[in-house]
Amino acid sequence: MLTARPVDIEREVGVADPGPGPRRRAGLEPLAWMAGPAVAAALALVLVRGVVGGQPPAGEDVMAHLIRADFALPHLVAHLRPDGWFPRLVLGQQEFLFNGPGLTWLVGAVRIFTLGTLSTTGALKVVCVASVAVLPPAVAFLARSYGLTRPAAGLAAVLSLLVSSPYGPGLQGLFRVGLVPNQVGAVLFCLALGAIVRTLDGPGRSGRCRAPGAARWSRRARWPAVAAVTGAGLLVTHLISALILAVFVALTLAARAVGGRSSRRGLGQLAAVAAGTAGLAAFWLLPLMAHRDLHGVYTGWDTPPLATRLADVATGRILFPAGLAVLVVAGWLFAMVRAIAGGRPERALATGCIVRRGFSENSHGAAVVWVLVPAVYLPLAYAALRLLGPGDVTLQLPNRGLGYVGLMAVFAVAAPAAALAGRFGRAGHVTALLVAGAAVVVFAPGQGAPSQLPEPKPQMRAAAGALRELVPPGARFATQRDFPNEVDRTGMIHPETWLARVSGRNSLNGFNLEAVSTPDAAMEPDTLQSDEPSVSADRLARFGVTHVVVTDDPVAARLARSDRFRSVWHVSPITILAVEPRDGAPPPASLVDSPAPLSAFLLDARPEHFGVEVHTDEAAPVTVAIAWSPKWHARLDNRPLRLRRAHDGLIQAAVPSGDHQIHLDYGSDGWDRLGLALTVLTIVAQLMSRIFSRTA
């Protein structure tokens, strides 16, 4: 019968120099564990100091995130509604159907925590800064979960600041592209993956050979709950990161099998975590799966060949500063050579006293896992793209997953560096942190990105004020797109979302067309400078566009020569033109269109409600400039009216001749109610499980 006894795993396996002694190292590890994440968080705050000020944080998508939050906080979150109709962009959409509410809820939580003293803009800025500062400690947690020692995990936290992907987590993705949900999702990704790994280890490997054993077992028993909560948070914050998490988990399972660390108990626990994650997120996940037909089109980045991507990483053009990729590959090779050369972690298992740090950076079984997972991910993602073809998921896995590969790849540098520094005791650990911190200060990619959104040219703010007066409530305006020339003329990137937010009026221009069921309508402003004016006017009027903002004087002059566009405001180079209806058609402000002559007058343009009075001499098909959804229900003169989906995604109905009133109302359906019920049941089940486990 085996007897439990304290053991120095590194000495037992025979791969570590005793150095200054186990007791001294044990005293240093907690200090290193706290110091590394603390130093990394402080450095992160230094890196993002440029966002301090009264303007929104920089980033192409930031204004769109603010528009979504501006609407959701008072109309949905304040009324404890999980979702609703969002009319501010394109032809409207269910706001959280494809882009979950996680970021908006977080912004709202910051506003509540500060008792409303912070504006929505200020709260979003706090979220951006906090997500950068909290990510390194989350990386340290992930490193510990994969078996790195406390000093190595602390060093990995600092080195994670050398990772920046324009397609995901890091300074470039956050403050140049505005990938705020992705940055927040990166924190949840690390926490969820770390908790899943600890769940796979199970309570049998958490160590009960020293007091207080019961408390230690209880802490380990909570990891499935932590994994489910953070996994659900990731789902409702950034879906593509959740899909990448699933790939990382699958690779972790495969790598653990290679290292001889798989168990049926762990797989059973993982299945329970998956069920808990899906249950907690069911209020959002079930409607998403039920209404996939409302999905838009992919508008992400091109994916270069794998060889090109690897060359860019190796030369420091993406992800890492130059030289770090070489150190990562060297660390991977060193760890794998040590594992292949005959590492025997099973000798440590035979002692009967297994502690997580036994699978340290010098433990061969653990190294197999944290080497293979990031090393295999990119080739696997490219293989999926080649075998399955381009798709919403396969096109994003190689780009979006790049940042997560980088965060885990720094383990290969942190582990040997911490082991080497440990030979010199406390001075070695301090020196390692100082060197890593200096490398961050000097070489961190994207250091110039953290800043505030620049104030556009004065004409833009004047145009926003004019739109507020000219565009009727409920109607829309459209902004000409002419990237990149529009940047010089307006003083900013994405003038269309800036104008939409500052003016407070709805815009036909779109954001994240993957989540929009009418992407063709969103692309209409892009063709203003090339299409025949009367054709553009017909389509714009059909979409409820009353005014067009043109940022190029020659294009404005060309449109103004047509009788379908009338100049109503001009301060060069910005012109606002009114859209005139064709003969016999109602005005665009009515949001109604028909091939037959009719008149219409808007009665109600509140969010989730629409009312219009129409008159037609003959029965006619009528379209309403709102994106179709099965959750819209209509009444014609207080009688149910059947709605159809028009060829371009608008709401369509057949109206008989005469004078009529049409009223539309938006409401939840059975999928929403079922999903919410499943989430409530999952929460109750989790609470009951905790109560019974405490009283058992």
More confident of the two residues 347 and 84: 84
CA–CA separation, 204 and 201 (whole Å): 7
Question: Of residues 597 and 347, which shows the higher confidence score?
Answer: 597
pLDDT, averaged across the chain? 88
**Cβ neighbours of residue 386 closer than 8 Å, sequence gap 6 or more:** none
Q: State residue 695's pLDDT score.
A: 60
| Residues 648-657 pLDDT 10s | 999 999 999 9
* Strand ranges (E), 539-591: 545-550, 565-571, 574-579
Placement of tokens 């969103």 in the chain: 522
Which pLDDT tens digit goes with each residue over 501-527? 999 999 999 888 999 999 999 999 999
In sequence order, which residues have a C-beta less than 8 Å from that of residue 172 and are 6 or more positions away? 164, 165, 166, 445, 446, 449
What is the pLDDT, as a whole number, of residue 292? 93
Sign of CA dihedral 459, 465, 469, 473: positive
Q: What is the reported pLDDT for 690?
A: 72
Burial of 276 (0-12, 13-18, 19+ CB in 10 A): buried
Q: What's residue 694's pLDDT?
A: 61
Closest by CA position to 491, among listed 551, 539, 437: 551
Q: Give long-range contacts, CB 8 A cutoff, 24+ apart: 596-603.
A: 596/620, 596/621, 598/622, 602/472, 602/474, 603/661
pLDDT, mean of residues 429-454: 94
Those residues whose C-beta lies under 8 Å from the C-beta of residue 113, and which sit 6 or more positions away, are none
CA-CA distances (angstroms) from residue 396 to 102, 385, 530, 652?
Answer: 20, 9, 31, 34
Query: What pairing do the DSSP bridges indicate for beta strands 93-94 and 85-86?
Result: antiparallel
The predicted pLDDT at position 363 comes to: 52
Paired tokens of 412: 């290969």
Q: How far apart are CA 663 and CA 637, in angstroms?
A: 8
Please, which pLDDT band fits residue 17 given cuts at 50, 70 and 90?
Answer: very low
Output the pLDDT for position 342: 54
pLDDT band at residue 300 under the 50/70/90 scheme:
confident
Which amino acid is residue 524, in one-letter code?
E
Check residues 31 and 509 and name the one with the higher pLDDT: 509
3-state helix, strand, coil in the chain (%, to 5): 55, 10, 30
pLDDT tens per residue across span 191-240: 999 999 999 987 644 433 333 343 444 555 689 999 999 999 999 999 99
Identify the residue with better confidence: 298 or 260. 298
CA distances for 462 relative to 314, 330, 457, 600, angstroms: 47, 57, 9, 31
Quick one: average pLDDT of 391-420? 94
Going from the C-alpha of 422 to that of each of 141, 150, 324, 362, 553, the distances in angstroms are 20, 11, 21, 12, 67
- Higher-confidence residue of 391 and 614: namely 614
Higher pLDDT among residues 1 and 185, named by residue: 185
CA distances from 176 to 15, 125, 166, 202, 312 (A): 45, 14, 8, 41, 19
The pLDDT assigned to 261 comes to: 73
The pLDDT value given to residue 351: 26
Is residue 354 scored above 70 in pLDDT? no
Contact 92, 71 (CB under 8 A): no
Distance, first Cα to last Cα, the chain: 29
Say if residue 136 is preceded by a cis peptide, omega within 30 of 0.
Answer: no
What confidence category does residue 358 fall into, taking pLDDT thresholds of 50, 70 and 90? very low
H/E run at residue 248: helix 239-258
pLDDT given for residue 472 in this prediction:
95
**Phi and psi at residue 541, to the nearest 5°:** -65, -40
Q: pLDDT value at position 334?
A: 87
Which two structure tokens, joined as six digits, stand for 286?
A: 């079930």
**Mean pLDDT over residues 260-265, rounded?**
76
What is the average per-residue pLDDT within 325-337?
Answer: 91
CB 84 within 8 A of CB 75: yes
Sign of CA dihedral 174, 179, 181, 182: negative
d(CA 587, CA 475): 10
Contact criterion met (CB below 8 Å) for 631 and 668? yes
DSSP H/E element including 328: helix 324-340
pTM summary value:
0.90
Q: Which pair of structure tokens corresponds to residue 504?
A: 């407070």
pLDDT (0 to 100) of residue 696 = 54
Query: 653 and 642 in contact (C-beta within 8 Å)?
Result: yes
Model pLDDT, residue 691: 72
**Mean pLDDT over residues 599-625, rounded?**
94
| 402 vs 362, residue with greater confidence | 402
Residue 365 has a pLDDT of 62
Percent of the chain topping pLDDT 90: 77
Tens of pLDDT, residue by residue over 120-165, are 999 999 999 999 999 999 999 999 999 999 999 999 999 999 999 9
What's the rounded mean pLDDT across residues 367-375? 91
The Cα–Cα gap between 303 and 309 comes to 9
Judged against a pLDDT cut of 70, whether residue 402 lies above it is answered with yes
- Please give the pLDDT value at position 29: 55
How far is C-alpha 200 from the chain's CA centre? 26
**What are the pLDDT digits (tens) for 45-63?**
999 999 999 899 999 999 9
Which two three-digit tokens encode residue 622?
């009528």
Is 591-669 in CATH node 3.30.1330? Answer: no
Q: What are 465-476's pLDDT values in tens digits?
A: 999 999 999 999
The whole-angstrom separation of Cα 662 and Cα 604 is: 10
Query: Stretch 14-33: mean pLDDT, rounded?
Result: 48
Q: Are 4 and 351 in contact (CB under 8 A)?
A: yes
In a 13 Å sphere around the CA of 399, the CA atoms on its Cβ side amount to 19
According to the model, what pLDDT value does residue 236 have?
97
- Kindly state the average pLDDT of the residues 405-427: 93
Tell me how far apart the alpha carbons of residues 252 and 268 are, in angstroms, rounded to a whole number.
15
pLDDT at 21 over 60: no
Asked whether residue 7 carries a pLDDT value surpassing 90, the answer given is no
